[in-house]
Chain A
Amino acid sequence: MVPTDFYAACAVCALGFIMLMRASSGESIQARSRLKTAAVVVILGGVGWLFATCMRNDDLDASAILLAASGFVSVCGAAQVLSHPRPLFAALFFILIIVSGAAAYILLDASFMAFALVIVYAGAILITYMFVLMLAEHRTPGSEEAYDRFPREPIIAVLIGSALLAVLGSAIFGSAETSRDASVQSALASRDDWMSLNRMPRLLQAEVSLAAPGARLVAGETYAKSDASHLHVINGQPVVRVLLPGATQPSEVILPAGAMISNPRAVGLALVEDFPVSLELAGVILMMALFGAVLLARRQVEHAEDERREAARSGATVDAGNGSGGTI
């Protein structure tokens, strides 16, 4: 069930983006900045309306509001990226998007990915972009290139974008599944989290030693015949079968809540245990990118080489064996 004012909010956002793109081709600097401010206000209004349609449910909590705040920052940054006349500032605003995106990741319980995002994106990729931009651009403020100031077909682009946003919105609201009971799902996830400790016996042994000093792990053959796992979740509580020092019969220890594996550990376990082939493939992709970059950078290309080649070709003597034919 899609609220109809989601589409109205999409239209408001589209209007704001069209104003924003018109703003960069304004006559004077004052007119440009005035139009830009108005456009940003319209966009923020539209985005706020979009978020308000999402938050109409009863289960509104603080993290949804904080997520919406990080979304406002992200969209402001995105608006600057696609309208700023100086590309270097566009790259800086992209870093703002990365930081607010990391905040959203933390709110969504993905703390490892939040830090990885900041380190890899803001620390490596965006810095590379800025190096290349500074290599290619020698502009002073106010003398931006025409191709940076005048967008190409802004109205058609924004119309296509708002149509895409409307379709995505209908998918977002259409797929909002409420069929599964949230508490049942939570209990299952909690059980899975505890059971994944079975795949890390050394960590489990360390946690057991903290809970009961001197205890050794034994497999719990009483619960299922072919089940060699040490940890079982019984009534929502993580129970480990251990052999206490001096005892002949195994006994059971309940782990404290702090023993549950943390997010980086869970991601690492999933990466290595569940997707080992994909991990290798990622390595191959990086290797190929390395080879490709070396291959691209190997050949020396003179400035304005094509123009000189054109001039040489139009002249009477064409040296066929010149060998300056470009291969990229």
Chain B
Amino acid sequence: MLPLISTNMTAAAACASSCLAQIMPAGQAQIQVALTISALLFTCGLVGFMSRRNMIVMFLCTELMFQGAALAFIAFGRQHMDTSGQVFVIFILTVAAAEAALALGLVVLLYRRRATLSAEAWGELGE
């Protein structure tokens, strides 16, 4: 067994206390509030997607649902003290960016054809 040379015992004690201070366990109230916000955002997005008629605002509401899901990922990552949740949010951002590029291109194309942003102008697609 090699001799253990601790450079400074007081520094070690300070480290031990501040290590505990640095990573506080997430309070239950904090996680529940965060999850409630995420549920509210997701619900608002869903309600908006169902009730708005403007195609661009409908896509905006899907982005709102993305926000709710991302906040839930961050909150669960905080609860389990794991960075995987944040990595998933990076992928959510990627998918949201790709979706925005494609959806907005599509909306501009549709607007040029019917000169309106109303989703009901394309109601015959569902028949």
**Which A residues fall within an 8 A CB radius of B?**
13, 17, 21, 47, 50-51, 54-57, 59-61, 63-64, 67-68, 70-71, 74-75, 78-79, 81-82, 87, 90-91, 94, 97-98, 101, 104-105, 107-110, 112-113, 116-117, 120-121, 124-125, 128-129, 132-133, 135-137, 145, 147-148, 150-154, 156-158, 160-162, 164-165, 168-169, 172-173, 176, 178, 182-183, 185-190, 192-193, 211-212, 222, 235-238, 249-257, 260, 263, 266-267, 269-271, 274-275, 278, 282, 285-286, 288-290, 292-293, 296-297, 301-306, 326, 328
**A97 interface neighbour in B67, B109, B119, Cβ under 8 Å:** B67
What's the least CB distance linking A74 to chain B, in Å? 6
Q: What 0/1 readout, one digit per residue, does chain B (23-36) give for beta carbons within 8 Å of chain A?
A: 11111111111111
Considering only CB atoms and an 8 Å cut-off, how many residues of chain B contact the other chain? 98
Contact yes or no, B51 A78, CB < 8 A = no
Contacts of A192 in B (CB 8 A): 81
Contacts of B89 in A (CB 8 A): 110, 113, 117
Contact yes or no, B51 A147, CB < 8 A = no
Contact yes or no, A286 B50, CB < 8 A = no
Bound state CA distance, A301 and B108, in angstroms? 10
Contact yes or no, B19 A125, CB < 8 A = no
What's the least CB distance linking B36 to chain A, in Å? 5
**B48 interface neighbour in A70, A82, A269, Cβ under 8 Å:** A82
Contact yes or no, A211 B106, CB < 8 A = no
Q: What 0/1 readout, one digit per residue, does chain B (44-59) give for beta carbons within 8 Å of chain A?
A: 1111101111101101
Closest B residue to A181 by beta carbon equals B25
**A113 interface neighbour in B7, B82, B86, B112, Cβ under 8 Å:** B86
The prevalent SS among residues of B at the interface is helix
Further pairs besides A165-B39, A251-B5, A267-B86: 20, Cβ < 8 Å: A75-B41, A75-B44, A97-B67, A110-B77, A124-B97, A128-B101, A129-B100, A147-B116, A151-B52, A152-B53, A161-B47, A164-B42, A249-B3, A250-B2, A271-B90, A285-B98, A289-B102, A292-B102, A301-B109, A304-B113
Contact yes or no, B98 A160, CB < 8 A = no
Q: Known contacts A79-B44, A257-B15: does B2 contact A169 (CB below 8 Å)?
A: no
Contact yes or no, A286 B94, CB < 8 A = yes
Contact yes or no, B53 A151, CB < 8 A = yes
Bound state CA distance, A55 and B37, in angstroms? 13
**B113 interface neighbour in A91, A121, A305, Cβ under 8 Å:** A305
Provide a sorted-by-A list of 6 A–B residue pairs whose CB atoms are within 8 angstroms: A129-B100, A153-B50, A236-B20, A257-B19, A267-B83, A267-B90
Contact yes or no, A82 B40, CB < 8 A = no
Q: What 0/1 readout, one digit per residue, does chain B (103-118) give for beta carbons within 8 Å of chain A?
A: 0111111011111111
Contact yes or no, B47 A158, CB < 8 A = yes
The prevalent SS among residues of A at the interface is helix
Contacts of B48 in A (CB 8 A): 78, 81-82
Contacts of B41 in A (CB 8 A): 74-75, 78, 97, 101
Contact yes or no, B22 A190, CB < 8 A = yes
Bound state CA distance, A79 and B83, in angstroms? 31
Contact yes or no, B2 A110, CB < 8 A = no
Contact yes or no, A125 B100, CB < 8 A = yes
What's the least CB distance linking B94 to chain A, in Å? 4
Point out which of B34, B41, B54, B83 has the most chain A C-beta atoms below 10 A from its C-beta.
B83
What's the least CB distance linking B29 to chain A, in Å? 4
Contact yes or no, A253 B7, CB < 8 A = yes
Contacts of A47 in B (CB 8 A): 40
**B51 interface neighbour in A21, A70, A120, A296, Cβ under 8 Å:** A21
Contact yes or no, A108 B78, CB < 8 A = yes
What's the least CB distance linking B123 to chain A, in Å? 11
